[in-house]
Structure 1
Amino acid sequence: MTTATLERPEVRDNQLEHVDIKVIDTDVHVEPRSFEELIPYLEAPWRDVPNLIASVPFSRPTYRTLEGGGRKDAYPKVGDIGSDPDMVGQQMFVDDPTDYAILLPWSFRGFTVDPRLDTALASAVNAWLADTWLSKYNAENRYVGSISIGIDDPMAAAKEIDKWGEHPGFRQVVIGHYGPRPFGHPIYDPIWEAAARHNLPIAMHFRGGATQPLGWTSTGPLQYFVEYHSLIAPMAYGAHLASWICNGVFDRHPEMKVLFIEGGFLWYQPFIDRLERHWKRTGQELGLKKTPHQYVRDHIRFATQPIEENTDPHKIATLYEEANARELVMFSSDYPHYDYDPPSKALPRSLDAEMKTRIMYENARVIYDLPKTRPVDRFDLAGGAR
């Protein structure tokens, strides 16, 4: 298996021109052409199970997304959306150009009822991603990988992180929002310990599970797609955020970073304000080192899409300033889904230039340890001068 590196090539005789990094997209979904493409990467005995594809007990979403969930212009003639490297490269790096795309494979959509199978599927996705989008399709080193894990078996998940943690193409661990307990619970410590060993941030992206459909809340399921799309991620992310804080996970792993993807970010401010309001009295039993606001500042980041907007440009700029978007927010497009946000139009115009710079690339560049410049490549030449 070949591997790719994100280190910049050596410049010799000034023949290699470089450009400054201006856009890093933290939420790009890619797919195998079909489930059959993953089968060679499955380990035995799963690879040899008859009728595996038909028998895999994947979760089924309760809600149907608009336009089938994808951009109409992002479906290739052959294969699933997000599976054609030529189409993805053109749309990501030429049409409305991004410098680096952080990949979150969408093929491992949720959990089955078997933690062993979850681990096998996650392992196959990681091997497939390393062999394709981080190698064969990555001559320009524009793609950055995420390690998929099965959350229901923390020890096996930790081993999977150790397996890929030093691969130069993988720069984070990706998890879903669903689990039998909030993620600060001690049963999950092996996962956070493994990520900390390799200095990898944790990215959370919502997805359903075999025993919990998308849109399930503590009071039962939501009825409509608009409810689910607007509410489910902030509700779940808030529960996990409180659990990570109150269980002292960030004290045990002081360098740990968590990125909440595709859930907005303005919701966190009143949530943390409420937690902090009661902190001095009710938080005494926890014996923690910081306040909730300090934990968010030091350990949490948010992705923009779906970004909160407001018709009053001055009001939205004030809200972003109050929520410390300058330090906490990173750009994401959610490519290739129907609600894709193009880099050129994603942020409210009323934000100041320094905040836009931090959101569009600088915050992510620091989190993922990416370079400040990159070599000019075929995508730049195809799109002309920036």
Structure 2
Amino acid sequence: MTIDDGVRRLPTQEITTHTDSREILANAARDTERYGLDDYFIVDVDSHHVELDSWPEILEFLESPVLKDTAHQMMRNWPQASHLALHNHPPGLTMQDVSGRIPHQASLAEETPGAASGAERDVTLVRRAMDAMSIDLQVVFPQPMLETGLHPQPQVASALLQAYNRWFTSQVLPREPRVKTMLGLPFEDPDACLATVEEFADHPGVIGFLVTSQRHAGVHRNAYMPLYRMLEERGLPIGFHAGPNQADSMTSTMNRFLSAHAMSFVTCNMTHMTNWVINGIPERFPGLKTIWIESGLAWVPFMMQRLDHEYYMRQSDAPLLTKPPSHYMREMYYTSQPMEWTDDALLEATLRAIDAPNTLMYSSDWPHWDFDVPGRIASLPFLDDHAKRNILGETARKVFGL
């Protein structure tokens, strides 16, 4: 079956790792016409590329000659690890393709004529997704590196993030002005975080900085206060991007990927959110824009109620707060994916609780298996046109100064 531009709309069973992204996203073109999305300014605040496909190129940006040589030795002596050298890619993530039934994310093996490999290929794939979903600007993050905070060697994790940031800003961003990014911070090392902001804050296309939330770090530690002050003074948002983990003290008891995926993407940000609010970070840095990414939304009203309840009973434990925790949470920002859609009444109540027209920003999470197209927002019957426009792009325009 084809649609007007000649791109096939595929039955699900035909999708493989080689299927063209434009064919997988053909239904998004139907949404563009149905909801008039070409008339909207659409910013995708959370999407991904498969950085391991370009891993040998990225490793060339390692600053340490010792680490670079180690990576070369790994790739030479262990060919099967040529795209994993020095990485801590967790084996459990390979369960995401549901025993091969949702294979596209496992490898983006589609043909890209004229862009055989590396950054040029990455940009080609990003453009295809943006055009198919009528997206004007797309914030792009890596994928497996979201677990870099769990790397057993923190100094290696910091070096890999530094190499990735230099590769992405020099090789990807100059090729496509519609691509933006929030660069990952080497959060294991507060001084390295400051150096990262100093190096990249003024780079075209860098619109903020990111903490990968799967990590065991207290975001309220005094060592991070200079970082938050620097970001606030520069007007740059900080994001906390959730990720999966099937090996911590909670999820290691779970025997299904579904269970770990449902919980780990939420609990990591719940932990950081609690420390962030109860320790008064919003009071200390009222101008710092804070974004919670890829944890869905259903947890936010729960945390509002739970933290308010505890606060009213033990205000002495949160001496910096001048108002209940939920008030600070309504002043922060959230990305929409994955938007829990199984109960319209609950979803409507959730969006009302977080003041969605002013705090929610659309995200696709493409090319992950649970991605959302812009039509997901445009189709919500309880949102008026103003709210839809804000969520799809206008709030992001304000937050990032686009």
1:337 maps to what in 2? 368
| CA displacement at 1:196 relative to structure 2 | 2.5
Q: Does the aligned pair in 2 maintain the 1:119–1:153 contact within 8 Å?
A: yes
Q: For residues 38-94 of structure 1, what are the alpha-carbon distances to aligned partners after superposition, in whole Å with 9 as ceiling and x for unaligned? A: 12211132223342555515141424102566458953335589943223212212x
User: Mapping of 1:251-290 within 5 angstroms?
Assistant: 251-288=283-320, 289-290=322-323
Q: Does 1:202 align with 2:238?
A: yes
| Cα pair distance change 1:69/1:191, threshold 3 Å | farther
SS where residue 181 of structure 1 aligns? coil
**Contact 2:146/2:214 (8 A) holds in 1:** no
Measure the CA separation in 2 of the matches of 1:127 and 1:156: 14
2:227 — aligned with what? 191
Corresponding pairs, count: 342
Structure 1 partner of 2:33: none
| Alpha-carbon shift at residue 21 of structure 1 (Å) | 5.3
Shift in alpha-carbon separation, 1:161–1:59, aligned structure 2, 3 A: same
Change (3 A) 1:219 1:331: closer
Which of 285-294 and 256-265 deviates more?
285-294
Residue 223 to residue 79, structure 1, CA distance change in 2 (3 Å): farther
Q: Which moved more, 1:237-246 or 1:172-181?
A: 172-181
Residues 326 and 359, structure 1, Cα contact 8 Å, conserved in 2: yes
Query: Measured at CA, do residues 239 and 347 of structure 1 come closer, stay the same or move farther in structure 2, by a change above 3 Å?
Result: farther
> What does residue 132 of structure 1 align with?
171
Residue equivalent to 2:352: 321
3-state SS of 1:128 partner:
helix
Aligned match for 2:157, one of 110, 118, 128: 118
Task: Evaluate the alpha carbon distance shift between residue 279 and residue 23 of structure 1 in structure 2; reply closer, same or farther with a 3 A threshold.
Answer: same
Deviation at 1:29, TM superposition (A): 0.8
Matched, 1:156 2:192: yes
Q: Work out whether 1:232 is the aligned partner of 2:264.
A: yes
CA distance in 2, matches of 1:248, 1:322: 21
What's the offset of the Cα at 1:341?
1.3
Check 1:293–1:164 CA distance in 2 against 1; reply closer, same or farther (3 A cut): same
Specify every segment of 5 or more residues in structure 2 that has no aligned partner in the other structure, as ranges: 1-37, 76-80
CA distance in structure 2 between the partners assigned to 1:335 and 1:354 by the alignment: 25
Mapped to 2, the partners of 1:82 and 1:229 lie a distance apart of 32
Gap change, CA 1:333 and 1:80, over 3 Å in 2: farther
Contact 1:184 1:246 in 2 (8 A): no
TM-score calculated relative to the size of structure 2? 0.77
Contact 1:326/1:358, CA 8 A, preserved across alignment: yes
Give the AA of the match of 1:75. Answer: A
SS of the aligned residue for 1:41 comes to: coil
| CA distance in 2: counterparts of 1:69 and 1:367, whole angstroms | 35
Residue 44 of structure 1 pairs with residue 31 of structure 2: no
Q: Give the 3 Å change call, closer, same or farther, for CA 228–348 of structure 1 in structure 2.
A: farther
Change (3 A) 1:128 1:162: same
What CA distance in whole angstroms lies between the structure 1 residues aligned with 2:40 and 2:165? 27
How far did 1:243 drift? 0.2
2:145 counterpart residue number: 108
**2:232, 2:103 → 1: CA distance?**
34
Residues 304-383 of structure 1 mapped to structure 2, 5 A cutoff: 304-311=336-343, 313=344, 316-350=347-381, 351-370=383-402
CA apart distance, 1:303: 0.9
- Cα offset, 1:142, TM superposition: 0.7
**Compared CA separation, residues 79 and 223, structure 1 to 2 (3 A):** farther
* Distance in 2 of aligned mates of 1:328 and 1:110: 26
> Which stretch shows the higher mean deviation, 277-286 or 34-43?
277-286
AA matched with 1:194: M
2:286 aligned with 1:248, yes or no?
A: no
> Contact conserved, 1:328 with 1:363, CA < 8 A, in 2?
yes
Checking the alignment, whether the CA contact within 8 Å between 2:139 and 2:182 is kept in structure 1 is yes
The aligned counterpart of 2:133 is 96
Q: Paired residue for 2:43?
A: 24
1:323-355, Cα deviation, whole Å (9 max, x unpaired)? 322222110001112222121234542122222
Alignment equivalent of 2:181, drawn from 145, 169, 176: 145
Structure 1's 61 and 325: CA in aligned 2 closer, same or farther, altered over 3 A?
Answer: farther
Structure-2 change in CA distance of 1:222 and 1:255 (3 Å) = farther
Unaligned residue ranges in structure 1 (runs of 5+): 1-18, 371-386
**Change in CA separation of 1:244 and 1:41 when aligned onto 2, cut-off 3 Å:** same
